[in-house]
Amino acid sequence: MHVLLFDDPAIRPHLLPFTFTRPIAGLRCGILTLAEKWQHRLQLPVGYLTELYLQAKYPAGFTQGPALVINGAICPDDLLTHQVQSLQAGEALYSEQTLVAAHLADASLVAELVQDGFRKTHEVAEPVTIIQEVWHLFLYNGAEIRRDFDLLTKGRQSEPVGDAHTIVYAPENIFIEPGVKIRAAILNAENGPIYLGKNSQVHEGAIIRGPFTLGAHSHINPGAKMRGDNTVGPYCKVGGEVANSIFFGYSNKGHEGYLGNSVIGEWCNLGADTNTSNLKNNYADVKIWSHMAGRFVNTGQQFCGLMMGDHSKCGINTMFNTGTVVGVAANIFGAGFPRTFIPSFSWGGAAGFETFKLPKVTEVAERVMARRQLEYDAVEQAIMQNVFEATAKDRVWEKATKSSA
């Protein structure tokens, strides 16, 4: 049996800028990405049905044979997994109008997803968690950490804290993978679990409250304050004060500054003393830019901070206003608040923007990825080229330059 995670066309545009550079199932919420959640539960490798320009990096992995085709925006639990596994060939599972999964006798018949020609349909037994908007990532993060924690640690024995100067509360809710190093920290898991991934490090004076997860090879810097519902993905370095936020992986916030109710993509860097606002002065619901709608939309949330796409960076003392959306490969710097929608491949700040040209983006990405012994190869460059072209309409200053020429 093959497993194919598909991008729901009704959902994917709402999850930009993060889905510019990955399938929906590549998003991280909780400890695991959505793809990893299904892979762990089904104990099967997964492939992706996504945009053509992403398919080289995220292949389907097969073209024929029986397949479970699953909506990549859905977070599984035990009951849903059982329902999906119970589907017979030609049957589909729905959550109201949303297709959750289908069992195809042959993966080459994936067009059935469009034709809706299923022999029999079922309704989910209970409501399911669907990541349909970017703010759902941090909104559901605490619950997903708890669910992933149970999944990953069931029947396993944690490594010991191994440091006499570290203070631990509710040790039964803490799981430490091999190779973790902790020094003179405070780990408080009374309100939720704490999961420390392989070869990660928690440095002196760090304060961590659960729910919290630290990815493999990541660091929580000295004196950091992790306030709960936080996910730090693999190969990150995080310091300062962080609350209810997600770092997908390979990103750094090494210094002081506040980050709240935010989602940070891969290969991002937040300069020293970068601060985000996550609450309006009048306590009104936060509006953020929607790539799908082409305008600002109401999140219905009182708390919402920064959404930053892959390969974006900001300089020291950057101030992000409530509900700021930053696209892919933007470089923000300078005094004052930049606009609350910063298009992909922007270079500048409050004083204005110009285009961060692709050759310069490539130079930076090559240097940054080389530090992790990874290559900014032709596949990565092709993805970036596609995103650059797709987001040209958002860089309004380019139109002004052309019209004045």
Six-digit token string for 18: 């993060």
Do 330 and 346 belong to one domain? yes
Quote the CA–CA distance of 128 and 124 in Å, as a whole number.
8
Which are the contacts of 286, defined by CB distance < 8 A and separation ≥ 6?
280, 298, 299, 301, 302, 303, 304, 322, 323
Do 240 and 354 belong to one domain? yes
**Is position 233 within any domain?**
yes
Do 183 and 158 belong to one domain? yes
Q: What is the mean pLDDT of the chain?
A: 95
Buried b vs exposed e over 241-272: b needs ≥16 C-beta within 10 Å? bbbbbbbbbbbbbbbbbbbbbbbbbbbbbbbe
Six-digit token string for 191: 């309100």
In the chain, % of residues over pLDDT 70: 97
- Identify the domain boundary among 75, 101, 131: 131
Long-range contacts of the stretch 331-335 (C-beta < 8 A, 24+): 331/356, 331/364, 333/271
Do 116 and 150 belong to one domain? no
Quote the CA–CA distance of 86 and 79 in Å, as a whole number.
11
Q: Summarize the confidence of residues 376-392 as an average pLDDT.
A: 97
**Is a pLDDT exceeding 60 seen at residue 404?**
no
Do 114 and 187 belong to one domain? no
Quote the CA–CA distance of 161 and 170 in Å, as a whole number.
12
320 exposure class (CB count in 10 Å sphere: 0-12, 13-18, 19+): buried
Do 117 and 260 belong to one domain? no
**Is position 252 within any domain?**
yes
Do 187 and 116 belong to one domain? no
Six-digit token string for 170: 């509710």
Residue type at position 123: E
Six-digit token string for 175: 């799981």
Q: Which helix (H) or strand (E) holds 342?
A: strand 341-342
CATH number at residue 381: 2.160.10.10
pLDDT at residue 108 in the model: 75
pLDDT at residue 107 in the model: 78
Return the half-sphere exposure (C-beta side, CA atoms, 13 A cut-off) of residue 71. 25
- Domain residues for the domain of 352 are 137-399
- Count of CB atoms within 10 A of residue 336's CB? 9
**Is a pLDDT exceeding 90 seen at residue 61?**
no
How many structural domains does the chain have?
A: 2
Do 149 and 125 belong to one domain? no
Six-digit token string for 25: 């199932």
Contact (Cβ atoms closer than 8 angstroms) between residue 142 and residue 244: yes
What digits encode the pLDDT tens for the residues 154-194? Answer: 999 999 999 999 999 999 999 999 999 999 999 999 999 99
Q: Give 241's strand partners.
A: 225, 258
CATH number at residue 117: 3.90.550
**Is position 404 within any domain?**
no
Do 198 and 248 belong to one domain? yes
Do 57 and 164 belong to one domain? no
- Identify the domain boundary among 131, 161, 183: 131
Banded pLDDT at 114 (limits 50, 70, 90): low
In the chain, % of residues over pLDDT 90: 91
Quote the CA–CA distance of 186 and 281 in Å, as a whole number.
32
Do 192 and 48 belong to one domain? no
Pairing verdict, β 67-71 and 98-104: antiparallel
**Is position 266 within any domain?**
yes
- Identify the domain boundary among 106, 131, 156: 131
Do 112 and 222 belong to one domain? no
**Is a pLDDT exceeding 80 seen at residue 401?**
no
DSSP string over 55-76: TTTS----SSS-EEEEETTEE-
- Count of CB atoms within 10 A of residue 30's CB? 28
